[in-house]
Structure 1
Amino acid sequence: MRPQPAAIGFLRHDVSGAQQQWDEAQIQHLARRLGYDLCKTLIFGPETDRPLLRVRTAVSRLDADAVITPSLEHFDGQVPDDVVEVADVITVSPENTYARWVLPPPPE
């Protein structure tokens, strides 16, 4: 068991543009402030094949509890259902947490 929950950062370089380093620093700062161990930051672009699958794979491999992104614009403006099924999605601006829901098993 980890001493603190794990998170990964996610951004798209085409969305960040010239402020990519700033966005990376903001992800790191928010992770620290919220008590997450930022294990890795994924940086993709429009040429990246199946980015949401890659994020989910990283969450699984790193046993991450959250994905921190500068804004929902990095997820094409909406909370990705595929990701929030497995981890909380946290945005830097505006600061918001989209929590995964733990659903009870269906009745037998």
Structure 2
Amino acid sequence: MRPQPSAIGFLRHDVSGAQQRWDQAQIQHLARRLGYDLCKTLVFGPETDRPIIRVRTALSRLQADAVIVPSLAHFGGQLPADLAEVADIITVSPENTYARWLIPPAE
């Protein structure tokens, strides 16, 4: 077992634009403040094939507990349900944690 939970960062360079470095720094800062070991930050663009599947693969390989993103805009404005099933999703702005679904939501 790890001494602290781990996370990966994720952002889309086309959404961040000129503030990409700032967004990456904010991901690192929030991870540190919340006690996460930030294993890696994935930077994709609109040309990236199946980005959510790639994020899930990275989560699995790194055995990470969370994904930290600058905002939900980096996921197209919506919380990706298939990611929320396997990891907490944390946004920098507004700062929010979407806890993984241990029990599927009622329909």
With the shorter chain as reference, the TM-score category is over 0.9
Q: 1:7 is matched with which residue? A: 7
Which amino acid is 1:11 matched to? L
Which amino acid is 1:3 matched to? P
Paired residues in the alignment total 104
Q: What is the DSSP-based 3-state SS (H/G/I as helix, E as strand, rest coil) of the residue aligned with 1:11?
A: strand
Q: What is the DSSP-based 3-state SS (H/G/I as helix, E as strand, rest coil) of the residue aligned with 1:64?
A: coil
Identical columns (%): 83
Structure 1 unaligned segments of length 5 or more: list them.
none
Q: Larger Rg: 1 or 2?
A: 1
Which amino acid is 2:56 matched to? R
Deviations 1:26-83 (A, max 9, x none): 0000000000000000000000000000000000000110000000000000100111
Which amino acid is 2:15 matched to? V
Shift, 1:103, TM fit: 2.2
Aligned positions of 1:62-73 closer than 5 A: 62-73=62-73
Q: What is the DSSP-based 3-state SS (H/G/I as helix, E as strand, rest coil) of the residue aligned with 1:67?
A: strand
Normalised to the residue count of structure 1, the TM-score between the two structures is 0.94
Give the Cα separation in 2 of the matches to 1:55 and 1:24.
Answer: 16
Moved >4 Å (runs of 4+): none
Normalised to the residue count of structure 2, the TM-score between the two structures is 0.95
